[in-house]
A and B are shown apart, each in its own frame.
Chain A
Amino acid sequence: MTTEVYESVLHPQSLVAELKKNSVSHVVWLPDSETNFLYNMMMEEPTLDLIPVCREGETMAVAAGLWVGGANPVVLIQNTGVFEAGDSIRGLCLDLNQPLVMLVGYRGWTRRGPTPDSAGRFIEHILHAWGINYYLVETDDDADRISIAFEESQRLNRPVAVLIGTEFGA
């Protein structure tokens, strides 16, 4: 009998630490299959206000309002939600020069073998088409790229994506 071991290499503590380091006030989000451990940790973090939405396109709009009101939000969705949210990204993030960091679960990402999931195959092409820069985070050692994304979004008044390329561990 063999026991499969799923080793997590990105822990939610690393991401939450980055959110706190960058003074994030609100996380506007819709859960995906990879973020439950992160959800539990964010719920326990008193400095973060979670705003759940019904559809990913709402996240950028709520974040735009929060920014106008003086808060410092991030968006947390899956790459499938980026496709759904296209008009919000165009009409709000890009047209209004919104300095927004979008944390995006990279469904379909793998370093090994083929990538049969079209969500994985298309996402980087879509971000390129919109001129949205992005950083890949796969391990705790990559987490500081989130701070790079914050700095870049605020310096350029542009949305910047962080693609979360692995599942969060406990």
Chain B
Amino acid sequence: MINNTDAVRVIDSNREDAVVVPTMNAGNVRFGLPSVTTNQNLDLPISGAMGKASNVGLGIALAQPGRKVMVLDGDGSLLMNLGALVTTSTKAPKNFYHFLFNNGVYAVTGGQPIPGSDGVTNWEEIARGAGYAAVFSFDNLEDFTTGISEVLAAEGPVFIHLAVEPEIENTPVQFRTRASRTAQQAYEEVTAALAGDN
């Protein structure tokens, strides 16, 4: 299992000028991308529309075909919008990298198991069957650290399954650490950063 913060750090350190669209644990301000990012202007956390981070990333990838787009999805999130895998593979953007943070639980609501988390669901087969061009899977930090170069050299859409440790939150929502920038600010900043590139 890969620590959540270690996973986002490996991705961030290999991002170059990629836009990164994280959600749930991967976008958490304490242990997700915002805690390690080296290019906040190209981070677009999506939490306001259940399961739609990959759709937002797809739109950016299609509008910006010369720039990599990395979506950091959650397993519970992807289950809410499983058809997005087929939507993505239908347009087949070569610059699209879909990381699945599989922690087996709804971490932000207290750690309840997600459907299929008892081992009956095979995410790699789902992605392959949906039509992704390449599929990778990592369950330890060392392999992920050495393997990410091959991942990012592959032509998209690429699906990367990561077995990660859940960061379960039980603190009442009103007492949790809030992001330093609102979703609206992030939307405006990334739009401005990309202006003129399409």
- A contact set with B: CB distance below 8 Å: 25-26, 28, 49, 51-55, 57-58, 60-71, 73, 87-88, 90-92, 95-97
Contacts and interface: CB of A to CB of B under 8 A. Distances in A.
A102 to B, nearest CB: 15
A28 B86 CA distance: 14
21 contacts: A26-B62, A49-B62, A52-B87, A52-B90, A53-B83, A54-B83, A55-B81, A57-B52, A60-B49, A60-B52, A64-B56, A65-B58, A65-B59, A68-B60, A68-B190, A69-B62, A70-B63, A70-B64, A87-B50, A92-B56, A95-B184
A61 B87 CA distance: 12
Interface string B139-177: 000000000000000000000000000000000000000
B109 to A, nearest CB: 16
A167 B49 CA distance: 31
A26 B87 CA distance: 14
B74 to A, nearest CB: 15
A61 B62 contact: no
Contacts of A57: 49, 52, 81
Given A57-B49, A69-B64, A92-B49, A64 B59 contact: yes
Interface residues of B, number: 36
Contacts of A62: 55-56, 58-59, 62, 87
Given A61-B59, A66-B62, 5 more contacts: A28-B59, A51-B62, A70-B195, A92-B56, A96-B183
A91 B51 CA distance: 11
Given A53-B83, A96-B187, A58 B60 contact: no
Contact of B59 (A68, A87, A95): A68
B182 to A, nearest CB: 9
A69 B59 contact: yes
B133 interface: no
Given A54-B86, A58-B52, A58-B55, A65 B81 contact: no
Interface of B: 21, 44, 46-50, 52-53, 55-64, 81, 83-84, 86-87, 90-91, 183-184, 187, 190-191, 194-198
Given A53-B87, A55-B81, A68-B191, A92 B52 contact: yes
B190 to A, nearest CB: 5
Nearest to A91: B48
A68 B183 contact: no
Contact of B87 (A54, A87, A91): A54
B46 to A, nearest CB: 8
Contacts of B61: 65, 69
Interface centre among A53, A62, A64, A73 (most CB of B within 10 A): A62
A73 B83 contact: no
Contacts of B21: 65
Nearest to A89: B49
B6 to A, nearest CB: 27
B59 A63 contact: yes
A72 to B, nearest CB: 9
A66 B81 contact: no
B63 A69 contact: yes
